[in-house]
Amino acid sequence: MKIVVQEGLFDPWAEVAAYQRDHLPAGKHGGTVVFVGTMRDFNDGYEGIRAMFLEHYPGMTERHLEKVCQDAMERWDVLDCMVVHRVGEIRPDEPIVLVAVWSEHRAMAFDACRFIINDLKSRAPFWKREATPQGERWVEHNTQDPNAA
């Protein structure tokens, strides 16, 4: 399991490939499900958002994400999982979050990945502040996923 909260830009596809190469046992995983969250330049009726600043609660965030991944690994028969999440200043088209799950068969990886990202969006202590053409504002709530478990 790998949990990282970092300021720097990252390449989610390179992260997945490197982790898989270095940490997954050879010949055991049949499915990899990857979710990448990317910054949009529109949100909640605001257009032309130039950047956002992501704040977190250092310590609690990492601890919470570890627990969620452990819960997912107990609940579904998955081989491994990884979460990378950025903090600090982020610009449109940059990745914000990566969740990757490896399992023998696809269904468990899909379910575990959805569980992790839904929990992250509703419980992990991160907050977004957007720079809109009308000024800065705290994002007050995440968009509701109609299929959120």
Which tokens sit at 78? 């998955």
Under 8 Å between Cβ of 31 and 106: yes
Residue 97, interface with other proteins (CB under 8 A)?
yes
Residue 85 touches other proteins, criterion: CB under 8 A: yes
Which of 20, 37, 51, 94 is in the footprint of other proteins by CB under 8 A?
A: 37
Tell which one of 12, 56, 78, 108 touches other proteins (CB under 8 A).
Answer: 56
Q: Given the complex with other proteins, which of 3 and 117 has the nearer CB atom?
A: 117
DSSP state of 43: B
Q: Which residues pair with 126 in a beta bridge?
A: 56
127: CB partners within 8 A, 6+ apart = 54, 55, 56, 138, 139
Q: Judge contact between 16 and 80, C-beta under 8 A.
A: no
Binding of other proteins at residue 40 (CB under 8 A)?
no
Binding window for other proteins (CB under 8 A); candidates: 8-16, 17-25, 103-111, 138-146: 138-146
Using the rule CB under 8 A, is 125 a contact of other proteins?
A: yes
Supply the minimum distance, in Å, between the C-beta of residue 41 and other proteins.
Answer: 17
d(CA 89, CA 53): 4
Note whether 2 binds other proteins by CB under 8 A: no
CA distances to 64, 74, 81 from 67, in Å? 5, 10, 12
88 lines the binding site for other proteins (CB under 8 A):
no
Chain residues that interact with other proteins, rule: CB under 8 A? 37, 54-57, 59-60, 63-64, 85, 96-97, 117, 120-129, 138-142
